[in-house]
């Protein structure tokens, strides 16, 4: 009974540790939002608090992922801004978020926020 419980605990820990990656990714490449499409940021006024933070909180900084379990941590503006280019490329390539996909609108918000300087606005 104790061996089974220990084994299950070990499996849970492994699942949490490796749950934040979709895997089978090719390193170094991004597809710029899908097939090389350029986003027109002149029509998207992405604000950190109103637009970007809810996306990160709902899809990235969740239990078992970038809320402190996986690196980089993405729970504060400073953490997100420091990793903005990484978040941008991972989202564009479809590698992240592990728990599903972002809509084109959500991806464009992140792209335009990063392109505008990743401001705390």
**What pTM was estimated for this model as a whole?**
0.68
State yes or no: pLDDT of 94 exceeds 80: yes
pLDDT tens digits for 14-70? Answer: 333 334 444 433 333 333 344 456 889 999 999 999 999 999 999 888 888 887 778
Residue 27 lies in a domain: no
Residue 81 lies in a domain: yes
Query: How far are the Cα atoms of 30, 46, 54, 94 from residue 26, in angstroms, in the given order?
Result: 9, 29, 28, 11
Euclidean distance between CA atoms 80 and 60, whole angstroms: 10
Residue 14 lies in a domain: no
Total count of domains within the chain: 1
Domain that holds residue 65: 48-121
Q: What is the CB neighbour count within 10 angstroms for residue 93? A: 19
Residue 7 lies in a domain: no
> What 3-state DSSP class applies to 60?
coil
Residue 37 lies in a domain: no
* pLDDT-above-70 percentage for the chain: 69
pLDDT confidence band for 4 (50 / 70 / 90)? very low
């Amino acid at each position: 009974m104790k061996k089974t419980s220990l084994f299950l605990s070990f499996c849970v820990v492994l699942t949490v540790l490796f749950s934040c990656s979709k895997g089978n990714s090719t390193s170094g490449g991004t597809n710029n939002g899908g097939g090389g499409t350029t986003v027109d940021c002149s029509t998207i006024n992405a604000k950190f608090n109103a637009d970007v933070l809810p996306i990160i909180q709902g899809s990235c900084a969740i239990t078992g992922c970038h809320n402190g379990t996986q690196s980089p941590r993405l729970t504060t503006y400073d953490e997100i801004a420091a990793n903005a280019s990484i978040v941008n490329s991972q989202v564009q390539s479809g590698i992240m978020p592990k728990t599903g996909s972002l809509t084109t609108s959500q991806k464009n918000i992140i792209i335009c926020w990063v392109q505008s300087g990743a401001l705390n606005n």
